Amino acid sequence: MKKVAVVWSSPNADGLTASAKDRFIKGLADAGAEVTEIALNKKKLEHCRACGNGWGTCNKTGECLLKDDFADIYRTLADADGIVWISAVYWSDMTECFKAFFDRLRRCDATKNHFLAEKRCIIMACAGGTGRGTLECLAQLERGLTHMGMRVYDRVSVVRYNRDYVLPNLEKAGETYAQVLETGFNMYY
Ligand SMILES: Cc1cc2nc3c(=O)[nH]c(=O)nc-3n(C[C@H](O)[C@H](O)[C@H](O)COP(=O)(O)O)c2cc1C
């Protein structure tokens, strides 16, 4: 049984982002994956202080010196076989909360630990406004994942216009992802 961490961010417990997350998790669970849900907005997460004039402990010891929920979440991600990243779209980007976590993760992982390298991911951007900015949000997410050596199986955009036909299909998407993690579908990079 594969372990999948679903990292998501929105302050809204029953909005578009939460619906997308729930549908995907249903598919994962139906396919027998062990799911750990990480709701970033409910965690205590500070932003990077860029200590040490830019590089603090992160690229030397692989640890962040801020004491909050970061280290626990990082351990869960390192232990997962697959990671699903889902953010509400704010300003054509990931949420501030997501960005704060992502920035610290990249510093520790890309420069020192490499615990997340080679993990196969799904990324999802949920935009409840005009829908503009979903592609930029996905691009920012993928750029960060690439810095850490992760790979992206699929990039999903959920907007008000497509929610009625995309949300139901996210269950199938979750099932497919769980199956693919078992069989090891690969892509040439
Ligand atoms: C600060 C802020 C910035 C936003 N920027 C965008 C945007 O660039 N494009 C968009 O389509 N919607 C934007 N929205 C709308 C959110 O994407 C919308 O609230 C969406 O539904 C978030 O998911 P939720 O339903 O989980 O809250 C923004 C909302 C906020 C609060």
Torsions phi, psi for 114 (to 5 deg): 55, 30
Report the Cα 73 to chain-centroid distance in Å: 11
Name the residue of 14, 42, 89 to mutate for ligand 1: max ligand atoms within 8 A of Cβ. 89
Residue whose structure tokens are 């951007």:
125
Q: Tell me the per-residue pLDDT of 89-113, one tens digit each, with 9 for 90 and over.
A: 999 999 999 999 999 999 999 999 9
Residue whose structure tokens are 């080679």:
118
Answer yes or no: is the C-beta of 89 below 6 A from any ligand 1 atom.
Answer: yes
**Secondary structure (3-state) at 57:** coil
Residues 6 or more apart in contact with residue 141 via CB below 8 angstroms: 85, 87, 94, 102, 123, 125
pLDDT at residue number 184: 84
Q: Please name the amino acid found at residue 39.
A: A
Res 23 pLDDT > 80: yes
Q: What percent of the chain has pLDDT over 90?
A: 96
Taking residues 70-83, what's their average pLDDT? 98
Res 185 pLDDT > 90: no
DSSP state of 110: I
Q: What does the buried/exposed string (b/e) look like for 148-183 if buried means 16 or more CB atoms within 10 Å of the residue's CB?
A: bebebbebbbbbeeeeeebbeebbebbbbbbebbee
CA of residue 80 to ligand 1 center, whole Å? 29
Q: Tell me the per-residue pLDDT of 106-145, one tens digit each, with 9 for 90 and over.
A: 999 999 999 999 999 999 999 999 999 999 999 999 999 9
- Model confidence at 9, pLDDT cuts 50, 70, 90, reads very high
CA distances from 32 to 86, 175, 176 (A): 21, 9, 11
pLDDT at residue number 42: 98
- Model confidence at 83, pLDDT cuts 50, 70, 90, reads very high
**Is the overall model pTM greater than 0.95, yes or no?**
yes
* All domains of the chain in start order, with CATH: 3-183 (3.40.50.360)
Q: Tell me the per-residue pLDDT of 48-73, one tens digit each, with 9 for 90 and over.
A: 999 999 999 999 999 999 999 999 99
Answer yes or no: is the C-beta of 127 below 6 A from any ligand 1 atom.
Answer: yes
- Rg of the Cα atoms in the chain: 16
Res 15 pLDDT > 90: yes
Name the residue of 14, 90, 124 to mutate for ligand 1: max ligand atoms within 8 A of Cβ. 90
